[in-house]
Chains A and B, each alone.
Chain A
Amino acid sequence: MTQKNYGKAFLQWLSQPLVWFLRQRRGVQAVFLFAVMLFPLFIFIATVALPVARNPFEAKADHEISENAEALPDSTPAEILTGRRDLAQKMAELEIKQAFSLTRLELAKKDSIGLVIDLLDSTANLEVKGVPMRRCKILRYRHSGLARRLRRQGRLHQWLAAPFILQKELATLPKAPIRIKEAPKDTIEAAESKGEDLPIEQSDAEFTLQFDRNLTLSVEQAQPPELAGRMREFWYDLRRYFDEARDAVIALVQLQLPQHRLWIEIELSREDAKAIYRALPARAALALRL
């Protein structure tokens, strides 16, 4: 069979469902269309439309701002509006700064190691008792469009006003590279085991931290992964998406709406990423500024 014939056969195979559909009676066509649309429509409404309409970030804001909204008449000149907008923007930035400083001080009261991320300064610090132990440079970052939306509304500081607490984590590297060693029975066995080389630990470090208040922080290493690391990265990505889909299904089964997570992706050097992941304890706290 020539290449042209293969192409023709493939097109024929592709068009078969359409041909099949067009040859049906109107009633059967209607039933088929209804059946095709039923599940996707339900999933779209339950996991996309409703969570967007009732997202926890904006719900409160509109109610609060509406108290002041009517005081500004529509006929207000543009330059006054611009001046007010600038001032409002400055206020919003100061409020974010204040929220960040308060959160850092809150973190400093805790005994455990916390993470302080300042996207405006492109820094990620490991802190304990307010002392920065490791200062890492964020090489690149991206975040959800929802954050920009909240910023424009001047409501971001409310969300950042308290430390975020770590709930769940997923990574390409183990939290602790534990090796089990059985105690030798005698000195001969002990001498034999002494010669064993130290295992070389795989060094790629990418991880996702899920915090409360719907925040997801993904950390990627700047260096491309090694060959084995690419496979691990593939499974890690697959697992990340699968977990999100699974959480949505669980929420639907419990007759709840899946909640949209505000995500942040940062890129660090491999060493920084590894140090941060290994240092963070369970239920670690995060102070964030963006």
Chain B
Amino acid sequence: MNINTTADDKTPRPASALNDASPAEEKAAEPVTPSVASAPAPPAPASAPKALLLGMSLGLLAALLMLWFAPVLREWMFAVLPESKFALQLRTTDIKKLQKEAAFLEKRVAALQKKHTQITPRLPYLIVDTSQNRIQIMKGDATLHEGVCSTGSYVLLRAAAQQRQWMFVTPRGMYQILGKRVNPVWAKPDWAFIEEGLPVPPLGSPERFEAGVLGEYALELGDGYLIHGTLYKRMLGMPVTHGCVRLGDEDLRLVYKNLQIGSKVFIY
């Protein structure tokens, strides 16, 4: 059925009449499309360069995908590929020699493990966890006491006027108790004044010394870092200090009692 049919076209015409149609009639018949007009017209054949370009574009996309999944493909290949022909059992050519070797290895492994356990300090030692702000007093593999602490706040204090800056971090690694003090007096460093918006007094000035703020005891770790008490007990368990390790009164007492000069402190 033609879309453009008119009332006149309703009368059937003989086939010969169609063939004999004048050029004018043919032209008029051109826009007439069949009922399957919605189907796409067949694409024109492409030239070789066009096909090459199209193919390479598609190939590039596929290559990028393959690059993304290359590690997974390699894993699959390792799983699928046959084992090396030199499998495990082929190493055992001389069974007696191997039995001797195995016995020797067993002894050696036991000796190495023993050597490793001997590394652990004999004296009680302290472990400080700066990420959860907790402490453990240890002796060998046994935990003597666990408690909370406060460690470095990770604040970078910048004093633009003086072109100076301080990073308040508790250093990590292995340290030793270098000194023990009772009723320590705090010798305030420059940042303590700058942080308060106060002018920095000269070294040795009486303003620099403050008693009672470090608790009952202080244990020195070197480089100005201390394990000490605090007035701000509600802050225990939070990273709020200037790098020192602050403890509650009871924990501080236990640390002071158990740790001697030379005792190890492990901070992580």
Contact = CB atoms under 8 A, between A and B. Distances in A.
Interface of A: 12, 16, 19-20, 23-25, 27-29, 31-40, 42-44, 47-49, 51-52, 55, 58, 61-62, 65-66, 68-69, 71-72, 81, 83-85, 87-92, 94-95, 97-98, 101-102, 104-105, 108, 111-113, 126, 128-131, 133-134, 144-146, 149, 152-154, 176-190, 198, 241, 244-245, 248-249, 258, 260-261, 271, 274-275, 278-279, 281
Contact of B154 (A20, A42, A81, A176): A176
B98 A91 contact: yes
A32 B106 CA distance: 64
Given A31-B52, A134-B268, A92 B88 contact: yes
Chain A contact residues: over half helix, strand or loop, or mixed? helix
A23 B51 CA distance: 12
Contact of A39 (B59, B90, B169, B173): B59
Given A39-B63, A153-B83, A248-B67, A183 B157 contact: yes
28 contacts: A16-B40, A32-B51, A34-B55, A35-B53, A36-B55, A40-B59, A40-B66, A62-B84, A88-B98, A91-B91, A91-B92, A91-B98, A92-B88, A104-B116, A108-B119, A129-B119, A133-B129, A152-B88, A153-B83, A176-B169, A178-B154, A187-B197, A244-B71, A245-B68, A248-B67, A261-B71, A274-B131, A275-B132
A87 to B, nearest CB: 6
A152 B109 CA distance: 21
| Nearest 4 interchain pairs by C-beta | A35-B55, A130-B119, A39-B63, A101-B112
Interface stretch (B6-14, B26-34, B42-50, B215-223): B42-50
Nearest to B121: A131
Contact of A190 (B74, B102, B195): B195
B160 interface: yes
Contact of A105 (B56, B115, B172, B194): B115
A184 B268 CA distance: 31
Contacts of A29: 51
Given A113-B172, A183-B157, A68 B91 contact: yes
B136 to A, nearest CB: 9
B173 A112 contact: yes
Sorting the interface of chain B by its residue count into under 10, 10 to 19, 20 to 34 or 35 or more gives 35 or more
A176 B153 CA distance: 10
Nearest to A44: B66
B88 A85 contact: yes
Contacts of B54: 32, 35
B89 A84 contact: yes
Contact of A130 (B102, B120, B127, B173): B120
Contacts of A271: 131-132
Given A177-B154, A190-B195, A87 B99 contact: yes
Nearest to B105: A94
Contact of A198 (B83, B91, B238): B238
A95 B105 contact: yes
A243 B47 CA distance: 39
A186 B198 CA distance: 6
Contacts of B40: 12, 16
B45 A88 contact: no
B74 A153 contact: no
A132 to B, nearest CB: 8
